Structure 1
Amino acid sequence: MAKKVVILGAGYAGLVCALELNKLTTAQEVEIILVNKHDYHQLVTQLHEPAVGAKEQKDVTVSINSILGAKKIKFVQDVVVSIDKAAQEVTLEHNKLSYDYLVVALGSETEYFGIPGLKEYSFTLKSVNQANRIREHIEDCLKSYNQDKKDSKLTFVVGGAGFTGIELVGELADMLPKLAAQYNVPKDKIKLINVEAAPMILPGFDEELVAIAKKSLEARGVKFIIGTPVVQVEPGVVHLKTGDTISSDTMIWTGGVRGIPVVAESGFQTEPRGRAKVDEYMRALDEKNVWIIGDSCFVLAPNGRPYPPTAQISTQMGENAAVNIYSSMKHIKLEKFNPVLLGAVASLGRKEAIGSLGKKMKATGWLAYRVKDASKYRYLAKIGALLKS
């Protein structure tokens, strides 16, 4: 009788896991069920582009059914409510699913660090719908400025200077002047501010590349406030730990992630931010048939720091989980998660980027922009290769 594998989430980790497991097994061996709340896969590494109108929703989403085609993967569009480990059952909003093996790849949600007003009065960038809301809000601010002349409508604050924050700032730096011209707003009135609690932007990047990125963005009008936490957000006002305030109708928060609540609520062991602890095979601790991958889990790299929540890491987690589920079914040795880090690239807007390609090679400017395109589509290429196999 075929084993039933239920995969929760069709982000990079979950989708690659499903496709890889499909390649490794036959229909007689396994029934694969992929659950996702949307009927599309989101290219979350590109959400900063529709957020400023540089791309449309259709450019950053891919139909799940078009990806799966005729493969032996059943897609269920539904929302996960709870997981019963003892009964080996997942409760959805409209259904229940039993499983022999479970993969939890539900992603993450925004971490607000208990900052008063931050959740209520800021935008976040973790989905296409959120990107669309940011774009609409920015356009509304520019449209209405000439009616009331409120400077706060032309002051845009991005909290957090990691990958997402800096890539969004880069897009805004390029697009806001164009939008200002479109809506007949004085360009010199626009302020773009990036606030970061840590002492530097883009943690993990080479200091030389960080300096290049900062210089490029500052040349396009970005003001950085580094080493200064946000302590409160009110309508129209961002409060900083220094006691200073920023009058702004737009606060976009990219400052951290935490685990989806259903993981901790279902009894899995988690770290303080609610991300699941896993063993070296990506299995939930003390569980032999549950894998937790992608942004839903917490894994330390050899340097003692957690692996970053990137598509590059997530796709490799998906591959590893698929291999180990197959190995468990066949009662053969499991494979430890040991990702190959291919470098990292951060977009700085329409025409610039920085990148580190391995330990020795660095790239900036137009070269890195071309590398960036290849890097971001590498994950789709991986999915495409699995589709053909």
Structure 2
Amino acid sequence: MTTIAVLGAGYAGMRAVKRLVHEKVDARIVLVNNNPYHYESTQLHEIAAGTKEPSDITFDIRDAVSDKVEVVIDTVERIDRESKQVVLKESQPLAYDYLVNALGFESETFGIPGAEENSLSFSNIDSALAVREHMEKTLANYATSHDENDLHIVVCGAGFTGIELLGELAWRVPQLAKQYSLPEDLIRITCVEASPKILAMLPDNLSKWAVDYLTSKGVEIHNGIMITEVRPGVVVTADQEFHANTIIWTTGVRGSHVICDSGYEQKRNRVIVEDDLSVKGHPDEYLVGDVSAVPDAQSGRLYPTTAQISIAQADVVAANIAARLAGREPHKFTFKSLGTVCSLGPHAGVAELNMMGHWKLKGHKVSMVKRLVNDRSVLELAHVKEMLESN
């Protein structure tokens, strides 16, 4: 029987297996993931800040997928593309006829000296919890250390994740100050960003509102400043140093290292795919989500990797595999963004939406929109039961 191997149970992988079952493909569908649960990666910053618990953003994979899908809990080490096998850490190699590679992302340091060793990043539940534990332990340590750097938090990077994290920290840290009886006037939350513009994907008025909101909550944002080095407790730029005993790295992501380890032609572990999302020279391989680089046919620029586009890619890949099994021509991938929603803590945010018109939103109402977006994502990946349990 034909075997379809789907690697990774993130947004793209979960959606792919759901759609493959919907397409009623005559094939064995195998989903491989290194954890028995799916987590909403767009909410990891809330785990890191301590405003949500892992149970709030996870659900069991086996409960969510059809009984027609085999679930293998194991770590993918590499892909033997010539023999069409997935090499696993604990299990025997998995032979496939079609491969859907949706292995997700890792933190990117861009080769900045000391960044990996002297800062904390998060790309999964465990690393997000490690950030939270370090931050809370370091803040609490001030009671005995009297080291003001224990009260300083530096977030490196003001991309989407960095800004959302700053919003959560601005809401959470004052609560921790009360919990540990800390001097609030000495607590500092600082962001250092190389780009001159914050939230460049949003209109100027919305990005300005976001920056003004964060600064009103005491966050210091230093943009247009390149980080040159990270030392223990110090973020170094060309002409300034930022001292903190909690340094969080959110400057960017790259695809899974499995891409490089498997010999793909790649940049930052992302592979430019064909217009049907297959790999050039390997029409039975499809790359989706953070490991893929998809050119916009009109502009030629690569689409940003988001949960929204990952889900759209998974739909096309499932339809294309079904088409190929039935001897039909595959579809070309096209994408129209429904918009961008950026939270600034539990009760505020900014958003630009392209649904039933064009909307620009800011303030408290965005928190409700964010909740609807998260619920929709769970529903697209699993079922109503998982959506209700995540609330």
Do they fold alike, i.e. is TM over 0.5? Answer: yes
1:34-56 deviation digits (Å, cap 9, x = unpaired): 00000000111111112122111
| Count of residues in correspondence between the two structures | 382
Alignment check: 8 A CA contact 1:264 1:276 kept: no
Output the CA distance in 2 between the equivalents of 1:387 and 1:137: 34
Offset of 1:387 from its aligned partner?
9.6
Q: In the alignment, does 2:349 pair up with 1:366?
A: no
Give, in whole Å, the separation in 2 of the partners of 1:264 and 1:128. 24
1:151-205 Cα deviation digits (max 9, x unpaired): 1111101111111100000000011011001100011111011111011111211
Hey, what's the Cα distance between the residues in 2 that align with 1:277 and 1:124?
26
Question: Aligned partner of 2:240: which letter?
Answer: D
Q: Output the amino acid matched with 1:297.
A: S
Say if 2:289 is the partner of 1:291: no
Partner Cα distance (2:273, 2:158) in 1: 28
1: distance between equivalents of 2:255 and 2:306?
15
Which of 295, 300, 312 is the matching residue for 2:295?
A: 300
Q: Which residue of 1 aligns with 2:249?
A: 253
Would the aligned equivalents of 1:283 and 1:289 in 2 still touch at CA under 8 Å?
A: yes
Letter in 2 for 1:382: E
2:279 matched to 1:281? no
Cα distance in 2 between the residues matched to 1:385 and 1:282? 26
Change (3 A) 1:21 1:332: same
Secondary structure in structure 1 of the residue aligned to 2:213: helix
Query: Secondary structure of the residue that 1:48 maps to in structure 2?
Result: helix
The 3-state SS of whatever aligns with 1:124 is coil
Q: Does the residue aligned with 1:317 lie in a helix, a strand or coil?
A: helix
1:269, 1:285 within 8 Å by CA — same for their partners in 2?
A: no
- 2:193 maps to 196
Q: Do the aligned partners of 2:47 and 2:54 also contact (CA within 8 Å) in 1?
A: yes
Listed as ranges, the matches of 1:119-268 within 5 Å are 119-241=116-238, 243-268=239-264
- CA distance in structure 1 between the partners assigned to 2:291 and 2:384 by the alignment: 23
**Distance in 2, Cα, partners of 1:207 & 1:386:** 37
Structure 1: give runs of 5+ residues left out of the alignment.
none
Q: Report the Cα offset of residue 261 of structure 1.
A: 2.2
Q: Distance in 2 between matches of 1:53 and 1:264?
A: 33
Match of 1:328 in 2: 324
Match of 1:20, as an amino acid? Answer: R
Q: Would you say the 8 A contact 1:324–1:334 is kept in 2?
A: yes
For residues 340 and 329 of structure 1, the distance between their equivalents in structure 2, rounded to whole angstroms, comes to 27
Percent identity over the alignment?
A: 37
Contact 1:158 1:254 in 2 (8 A): yes
Letter of the aligned partner of 1:18 in structure 2? V
Alpha-carbon deviation of 1:276? 1.1
Q: C-alpha separation between the residues in 2 aligned to 1:90 and 1:350?
A: 41
Deviation string, structure 1 residues 37-87 (Cα, Å, up to 9, x no partner): 00000111111112122111111111101102x520000000111111111
Structure 2 letter corresponding to 1:357: L
Q: Could you say what the CA RMSD is over the residues aligned between the two structures, in angstroms?
A: 1.5
Task: Verify the 8 A CA contact 1:141 1:153 in the aligned structure 2.
Answer: yes
Do the aligned partners of 2:156 and 2:248 also contact (CA within 8 Å) in 1?
yes
Aligned to 2:389: none
1:380 paired to 2:373: no
- 1:40 counterpart residue number: 37
Deviations 1:209-246 (A, max 9, x none): 000001000000010110101110111111012x2101
Q: Is the 8 A contact 1:269 1:284 kept in 2?
A: no
For the residues of structure 2 that align with 1:313 and 1:293, how far apart are their CA atoms?
A: 9
Q: Which residue of 2 aligns with 1:341?
A: 337
CA shift, 1:386, in A, is 9.7
SS of alignment partner, residue 51 of structure 1: helix
Distance in 1, Cα, partners of 2:44 & 2:261:
29
The CA deviation at 1:385 is: 5.6
TM-score by length of 1: 0.95
Residue type at the aligned position of 2:44: L
Please tell me the residue identity of whatever aligns with 1:364: K
Instruction: Tell me the secondary structure at the aligned position of residue 55 of structure 2.
Output: helix
Show the counterpart of 1:84. 80
Contact 1:23 1:386 in 2 (8 A): no
Distance in 2, matches of 1:99 and 1:387, equals 31
Amino acid of the residue matched to residue 232 of structure 1?
E
Report what 2:103 is aligned to. 106
1:319 to 2:315 alignment: yes
- Once residues 346 and 74 of structure 2 are traced to their aligned partners in structure 1, the CA distance between those partners, rounded to angstroms, is 36
1:5 aligns with 2:4: yes
Partners of 2:43 and 2:338 in 1: CA distance: 19
The residue identity in structure 2 corresponding to 1:88 is K
Counterpart secondary structure, 1:199 = coil
Q: Distance in 2 between matches of 1:387 and 1:275?
A: 34
